[in-house]
Amino acid sequence: MPVGEHHATLTGFTGPVCRLHFRLRFRHHAVPTNTQDTPTLSSISPHTEFTLWWIRSSSSSVDTFRRKHDYLRISLTERCNLRCFYCMPNDGVELSPPNNILSDDEILRLAKLFVQSGVKKIRLTGGEPTVRKGLANLVGRINELRIHGLQSIGMTSNGLALHRKLPLLIENGLTHLNLSLDTLDPLKFEILTRRTGHDGVLKSLEVAMASALHSVKLNVVVIRGLNDSEVLHFVNLTKDNPITVRFIEFMPFTGNKWDKDKLVPASELLERISGRFPGAVKLLDEPHDTSRNYAIPGHRGRFGFISSMSDHFCGSCNRLRITADGQIKVCLFDSKEVSLRDLIRSGVSDVELLAVIRQALSGKKAKHAGMENIDVVTNRPMILIGAGTYALNAGKLSHLNESGSPRMVDITSKEITRRTASAQGRIYIPTNAYEIISKLSASKSKGDVLTVAQLAGIMACKKTSDLIPLCHPIPLSHIEVRLTIEAEPSHGSGFGHHSLNGRERRLRHSILCQSTVTCDGKTGVEMEALTAVTASLLTVWDMLKAVAGTGMVITDTFVTSKTGGKSGDFFRPPRRVDDSWKDLRAPYNEVIAKVERWSIYFVTSTPNVPGMTSGINIHYPLQHFLTSQD
């Protein structure tokens, strides 16, 4: 039979049953015609691949407050051809190296993953998205995701040069456009943006209104004493034009000198407009609308308010953001970020990416700090919501100065925050050592190996800055070290036994060491957590060497999580599946595989992959599922 594909959807099970789609791409195989031909899990002929897709359920993008996130904003660049004072600090921003910005392929991979997880709307932002090269082609590639459920592609632009590019963007799939225009006065435009170009923005607006776009909106940031006197002029634009004018409350971002007195609440603006247009009617809002919309009888357009400060809409928030350097932000006003870019470039699978995304989403708060407290929240400058000053530095070591000499990183300007870090590691030991330790542990002897190793880890943790030359001394508030005897190591929680060579595999037993360290300080405690684990395992090695010899192996030492700090939280995703059937089962308490004809059924109970309740994409060799005779 020639090379081909078979597709199947498996449903109808009761209880905790995975619903699967799978595709088979094969060579030299005939489709079984009776139950005797049913393939088994033993082996397969070469050149065969199996792709297993565990369908992401509707809950895959729901946070702990049951908000479903189906709207993704992707920043394409941190660069902009304007310098709006409320967006960019007076002294500018440090641009990320080009290599730190997500590539088209990386954007497409993330976009596809989010769409397959339930996102229906993607909006492209910046910086200014039109300054990115190949924008039209990227829009066209994103538009191909409609087959996976994407319904619309929007873009937010300052409109300065958009009029030349808009027709091709629409042809390639752009459906919605938001134009940022804070004033109708050319002179005031130069004051606000520190650039000329007011005519270009108006031309882009004209081209947009005459196009086939589904929606054209004007975003107006209202600042008391600067442009709040123009509100009625903007409302007048809705009389003859089918646009929506949205008045946005002035919001705080690093460097924009936010002042509560400069904020004009939406309620005050509505009162002004109602005084001039008493017939304004409140429109019915969609469930996830950020703006509260109104219409004036006889006007073709409408106006609305985005009251992020005075009357937040956190309860219905359905938005996620990816910055230009690949950080995921679950809230515009939350400084916590997690780098998806670094995970992608380290070679992780979609399973691992999805787990990290789910973990980040689980940390989304019920609402932001509110107008009274939000001005003390440290966040990026607005323009860098699409960039990444806190991502990993490509090719630059922070502990070296410009001349290459070692230095201690300056943390003077950092804020004191609650920081935690967890780490783990293993030592593999022979059976005789395992039996001795098990007996000592069971007897609760004061001198048993695990107790001594635990104390060693705690002591070493407190001395980390003495052991590691450029580490900062940190006042630790909590240290916890745990050692667990394992008859056979659990592969699902580490890199596992498969990393040992043939001779070392005889070390069938292991001791798992886990540490958690907490402090209130200006820098993280990952090094302290790693030092605690390392010292504990070295102590075990030293105390067992008389009976175990020097063949013991210490391995799989790594940070499992961290919280706090500007770099955001980190949670190590589940380890990628390797080439053993046992490892495929490792992330679950129970997996039963049943093969009938060309259908593969998986029944699983209680998934325990951190941050995941459903939604897993596993690429797995079919050789574990089919016989060589097929």
C-alpha distances (whole Å) from 552 to each of 40, 203, 514, 543, 555 are: 38, 73, 19, 12, 10
Cα-to-chain-centroid distance, residue 560 = 17
Whose tokens are 């020097």? That residue is 550
**β-strand pairing of 281-282 with 292-295:** antiparallel
Per the structure block, which two tokens stand in for 333? Answer: 């006003």
Residue pair 84/197 in contact (Cβ under 8 Å)? The answer is no
Which strands make up the sheet holding 476-486, listed edge to edge? 476-486, 509-521, 417-429, 553-563, 570-571
Active site residue 104: no
- In the 8-state DSSP scheme, what is residue 302? E
Is residue 543 classed exposed, middle or buried when 0-12, 13-18 and 19+ CB atoms within 10 A define those classes?
Answer: buried
Residue pair 453/536 in contact (Cβ under 8 Å)? The answer is yes
Secondary structure of 404-428 in HEC code, one letter for each residue = CCECCCCCCCCCCEEEEEEEEEEEE
CA distance 421 to 559: 7
Q: What is residue 245's three-state secondary structure?
A: strand
DSSP codes joined into one string, 81-125: S---TTTS-TT---PPPGGGSPPHHHHHHHHHHHHHTT--EEEEE
C-alpha distances (whole Å) from 573 to each of 219, 336, 346, 608 are: 38, 18, 12, 12
Beta carbons within 8 Å of 608's beta carbon, 6+ residues apart: 587, 588, 589
In the chain, what are the helix, strand and coil shares in percent, each to the nearest 5? 30, 25, 45
Instruction: Report which residue type is found at 168.
Output: L
CA distance 602 to 592: 6
**Nearest 5°: CA angle at 304, between 282 and 313?**
90
C-alpha distances (whole Å) from 187 to each of 85, 199, 226 are: 15, 11, 12
Q: What is residue 37's three-state secondary structure?
A: helix
Residue 325 dihedral angles phi and psi, to the nearest 5°: -100, 15
**Active-site pick, 105, 520, 542, 579:** 542
Beta carbons within 8 Å of 205's beta carbon, 6+ residues apart: 159, 179, 181, 216, 218, 243
Q: Which residues are catalytic?
A: 542
